[in-house]
A and B are shown apart, each in its own frame.
Chain A
């Protein structure tokens, strides 16, 4: 059977108090249904970045964990950092 290559989301993590969505992809080489090799690739969707959530197909998770208040707090924290620095 021929070798096939596939990318799967094999781990999703909600990180930090702003509930960024951390995504791990596994690029897998599959033979006869068995993964014979794989490499990881990571990405993250920041709180409030719905476009990225759609891109990574985690919109449902984003909707579940992000609230307008949380997004506003995160944006305020970013601006505060800019101002303070």
Chain B
């Protein structure tokens, strides 16, 4: 059934109950412009024309604006608070950035304070400053200013302890110019004792000058190592010491004692020790070479190792055995009869000897209390082996006392480990045996011979 559009103008309420049966009121039946019915298009147009937003539009727009921002920053108030409520935030930020050093490099006009380890070329520095790289270099670049002694660079170790004379520079390493021009420099090492006044620079202790000489205790080293003071060498607290003062010492302290064993080289000093060299052991002077020459063994003996002696050669290289005193010995021996007497009963016996080089002197006393002569020769032991030749006898006899035999003509020869006494019967030329009566007698003699 076709619907008939009607125009209703009423002041009252029109509802479906007032309609004829079979009729309904739909928006389709309501004419445009009747204020009774508006189409979606018209409403939309109306809203658009009058800039009205729907709830859905507004909801969508707000959601797009928030764009899933965190709840703590999804309101303008929160955003403003986050920006410090600074209406000139952009200017503030711009000005602040202008005070920062660009990553690409720039000039830092103020102090740089790093409260963490600083790494150069390394991502995880393990010390306050760590420089990493292939053959890394730290350079202190100074200006010599064309003047000698100008500081070119210095590394200072500063002690901030204020308890005693501090804070202060505890130690330093620095370089100063050596010449008014050029690159020559002295490298100086300094330390402080701790008793200096606050602010005192480290005191120079060692210097390597531009010529490569090392000076300790002097800032003008003239040799590769020039020390004004003592030098101690060794592996213990009591080690070797070289002392440089008015008296120079070469000292070895190997034991628990100190200053007990040394060589003293005195260039100046008391008259008694000036310009002398002396050798000291166990706290006693042993040998001295005085300023006037010569040498004195002041305490002890001179001992020669086997095969060595004193060479009296007049000139170097002219030494021979004839000018070499290589043996000295003294001692005792007990003389006894080797041959010529039997059934011997000895009385007092004593022999002493002194050997100087190839010359031996023996002195003996041999008392015969009883015995029987059985030969024309009497051989008595003496030490060392005489070296007679066919033309030169190695004998010099001092004395032979044969009591009761004064008419006889005894003589003696020194032989190989023995001294041989011969006696004449007084008739000359021919020797006879000792008298049978010669049973109690003594020999006293001193003999010098060559070996």
Contact = CB atoms under 8 A, between A and B. Distances in A.
A20 B377 contact: no
B441 interface: no
A41 B420 CA distance: 21
Interface string B371-404: 0000111000101110000000000000000000
B424 to A, nearest CB: 11
Contacts of A22: 383-385, 417
A28 interface: no
Given A20-B417, A39-B332, A82 B375 contact: yes
Given A22-B383, A22-B384, A46-B417, A40 B329 contact: yes
A44 B339 contact: no
For the side of the interface on B, what is the size category? 20 to 34
Given A16-B417, A46-B338, A85-B431, A40 B381 contact: no
Grouping DSSP codes into helix (H, G, I), strand (E, B) and loop, the B interface class, with mixed when no group exceeds half, is strand
Contacts of B330: 40
Contacts of B38: none
A20 B334 contact: no
Given A42-B383, A82-B376, A15 B332 contact: no
Interface string A35-70: 000011111101000000000000000000000000
B346 interface: no
Contacts of A42: 331-333, 353, 383-384
A32 interface: no
A19 to B, nearest CB: 11
Interface in B289-346: 329-334, 338-339
A24 B331 contact: yes
Interface in B387-433: 416-417, 420, 422, 431
B189 to A, nearest CB: 48
A41 B332 contact: yes
A85 B331 contact: no
B383 A81 contact: no
Contacts of A20: 385, 416-417
A78 interface: yes
15 contacts: A15-B385, A15-B416, A16-B416, A16-B417, A22-B383, A22-B417, A40-B330, A40-B331, A42-B331, A43-B334, A43-B381, A44-B383, A44-B417, A78-B339, A82-B377
Given A40-B331, A81-B420, A82-B377, 9 more contacts: A16-B416, A20-B385, A22-B383, A39-B332, A40-B330, A40-B332, A41-B331, A43-B383, A85-B376
Interface of B: 329-334, 338-339, 353, 375-377, 381, 383-385, 416-417, 420, 422, 431
